[in-house]
Chains A and B, each alone.
Chain A
Amino acid sequence: MIRFLLRRLLGAAAVLLALAALTYLLFYAMPGDPAQLACGKGCTAPQLAQVRHALGTDQPVVRQFWTFLTTLVAGHSFSTGPSTVWCSAPCLGYSYQSDEAVTQMLLDRLPVDVSLALGAAALWLLLGVGTGLYAALKPGRWRDRITNTVILTLGSTPVFVMALLLLMGACVWLQILPFPNYVPITEDPAQWAQNLLLPWLAIALVSAAGYTRLTRAGVLETLNQDHIRTLRAYGYPERRIVLRHAVRGALPTVVTVAAMDIGLVLAGAVFTETMFGLPGLGKLAVESASTVDLPVVCGITLLAGALIVVANTVADLLHAALDPRVRI
């Protein structure tokens, strides 16, 4: 267990380091001047030189990358014209466009993504596992066919199309909900939930399909095994066999995939956030990409990579914990 953890952590660290190098090379060592981009339009020559010095782009690439890494671990000071700003430990750089440390910008946005991920995950698990169990409990050719069609349709819908349709349906035609406008949970939990309902639904509806499949397949596979046959022979009711015993066959896969999916949403649900105007990481990514705010873009890419790597590791651990056949 410990060895596995260590190996996984080392592997994750290696992946993150490679990711950082790749991100850095792509965005800072590209032809085109990041200093010019960071400084913005109407930047005078001395300002440009100052920014270039502040960014360190007047130095060789390898040295720049080293500075980038040490900045990440030890912090760094950035001069913003008249004053100097200290950017503390996990420092991802400084955005000259919004005059803020990137780490702080990301931390400000994270609660939105946490809200989004947790609510959506609860919904998609409920929907997906529920329909999967239903499909496994009540087999039948037509029911299977209908479930398959619905699953394929929902699962194939691009999330931005789903979001648009939900928005049009609920807010314009039926007018049962106001247009979402994010309220932090600390301010008003009821408003928070109401405003996040549509975003949750959008993500949950397109994601649930996969869980229906996993649950159904897992349960049906387990139903074929000997211990279930024994239970049947003892005369256990079928419903109890499915809900008590066969579910366990589906559990490890469902939990594993859910952990990875939650990681993905945490890293920024770009479309859902853009569509519903939620101020999360995904929206920030798009905004900073369209204004070419490189430090922010770079920071989000790294954070997203880190979250995905962590989610994958957690998924593997959970899988091993739930399924003793998996050796770690």
Chain B
Amino acid sequence: MDSQTTSAGTGIGAGGGAAGVWSRLWARRGGRAAVITVGLLVLVALTAPWLAALEGQNPNSFHDTLLNSATGGSPNGAFGGISAQHWLGVEPTTGRDLFARLVYGSRVSLGVAVGATLGQLLLGLLVGLAAGLGGRWADALLSRVTDLALALPTFFFSIALLAVVPQSFPRPLLLGLILSGLGWASIARIVRAETRVLREREYVAAAVLTGAGTWRIARREILPGLVAPLATYTAIVLPQNMVAEAGLSFLGLGVRPPTSSWGQMLSTATTWFQVDPTYVLIPALTLLVCVLAFAGLGEALRVAFDPKAAAPATRRRGRTIAVPPPAPAQPGPTTGEPAARAAAAAVTTLPHEKGEAQ
């Protein structure tokens, strides 16, 4: 029911090159705020040891003297023991410094999210390109596999897998592997749909006539056209992966102490929310701000890549411009129709909407 016009499908591609997209991204206040927040987050993750050193603390040493043994180990002082030495207070029962744990935790949270996203992109690209450029049988087979992967209750699978794999396996790596192994299908679907559209273009036909091999066509002719939808989609799945990591660690199945991640911090914090609300709010709000920043970035990227939405949506009563009707997001074994609608639906999907994590 949808026409096959997405931003890439109409040949707009990167919309005036990286510089053009960047300037359009920066021109909007929301886009600028998102870029700055995400940049700060990356900077914090990269400089975590120095930040902790600046505070003069490390994430793993205990400080018993700062705790009140009468209350079962809640921090002394207001707001979870915030002081000049401990900028965000200390952890109940152990007295570990929360600022240090938070900045070190950003490495795990961001690292797992980025790693999982890269894995999903790689797998999705490979499967999608193979299905889109391959013959009828390859396409049929790979599309069925993709449909199946989309129908999996991924969250339950990851819970179960985390439970089965021995504790000795490094958890952040395992989380990255599980998330990418279970989450590539929607990317594959988008890549396949876009590839099917792109390969009918004249310039691809021209490349075929020059005798270019499939691999070269994929790399030189198709990939550039995939940049726009993939960049936008990356900004959507990255926070999803971040939330997934946080959630699994929150359930006690992901990262475990002494390693910290925001989800792990929230997990230990839930037993303390009556006594020490600061301890809950710090990782919760950090996670929220980061997910929001990525969501904003995704939204801004979508607008920046789409010249049609370049003007802010203005309308008078009853007359509407620039509100693209979102196609129904259909995870699950739908008919495998050459759906640009998966792509269209994906770019209008909120981070948590893939569901399951409710």
- Interface, chain A (partner B; CB < 8 A): 11-12, 15, 18-19, 22-23, 26-27, 30, 32, 139, 141, 144, 151-153, 155-161, 164-165, 167-168, 172, 203, 206-207, 209-210, 213-214, 216-218, 220-221, 223-224, 228, 232, 238, 252-253, 256-257, 260-261, 264-265, 267-272, 274-275, 285-286, 289-290, 292, 294, 297-298, 300-301, 304-305, 308-309, 312, 315-316, 319, 325-326
Contact between chains at B358 and A269 (CB < 8 Å): yes
Contact between chains at A19 and B148 (CB < 8 Å): yes
Contact of A164 with B333 at beta-carbon distance under 8 Å, contacts A156-B351, A213-B326 already known: no
B215 proximal to A (CB < 8 A): no
Contact between chains at B357 and A156 (CB < 8 Å): no
Q: Encode contact with A along B321-358: 1 for CB under 8 Å, 0 otherwise.
A: 00111101111111000000000000011111101111
Contact between chains at B147 and A15 (CB < 8 Å): yes
B291 proximal to A (CB < 8 A): yes
Contact between chains at B148 and A210 (CB < 8 Å): no
Contact between chains at A152 and B157 (CB < 8 Å): no
Give the distance to chain B from A204, nearest Cβ to Cβ, in Å: 10
User: Which of the residues B152, B243, B266, B295 comes within 8 Å of A152, measured between beta carbons?
Assistant: B295
| Cβ contacts under 8 Å, A316 to chain B | 334
Contact of A309 with B323 at beta-carbon distance under 8 Å, contacts A158-B291, A160-B266 already known: no
Contact between chains at B280 and A301 (CB < 8 Å): no
Contact between chains at B246 and A260 (CB < 8 Å): no
Interface size on B, residues (CB 8 A): 68
| Cβ contacts under 8 Å, B296 to chain A | 152
| Cβ contacts under 8 Å, A159 to chain B | 352, 357-358
Q: Encode contact with A along B165-190: 1 for CB under 8 Å, 0 otherwise.
A: 01000000000000000000000000
B325: nearest chain-A partner, CB-CB = A221
| Cβ contacts under 8 Å, B280 to chain A | 164, 168
| Cβ contacts under 8 Å, B317 to chain A | 139, 238
Contact of A285 with B318 at beta-carbon distance under 8 Å, contacts A158-B287, A270-B357 already known: no
Contact of A238 with B164 at beta-carbon distance under 8 Å, contacts A152-B295, A270-B357 already known: no
Contact of A297 with B163 at beta-carbon distance under 8 Å, contacts A221-B323, A305-B152 already known: yes
The CA of A18 and the CA of B151, in the complex, are separated in Å by: 10
Contact between chains at B288 and A19 (CB < 8 Å): no
B133 proximal to A (CB < 8 A): no
Give the distance to chain B from A326, nearest Cβ to Cβ, in Å: 6
Give the distance to chain B from A242, nearest Cβ to Cβ, in Å: 9
B270 proximal to A (CB < 8 A): yes
13 contacts between A and B (CB under 8 A): A159-B357, A159-B358, A168-B277, A172-B273, A213-B326, A253-B328, A257-B329, A267-B356, A286-B252, A297-B159, A297-B160, A308-B153, A312-B331
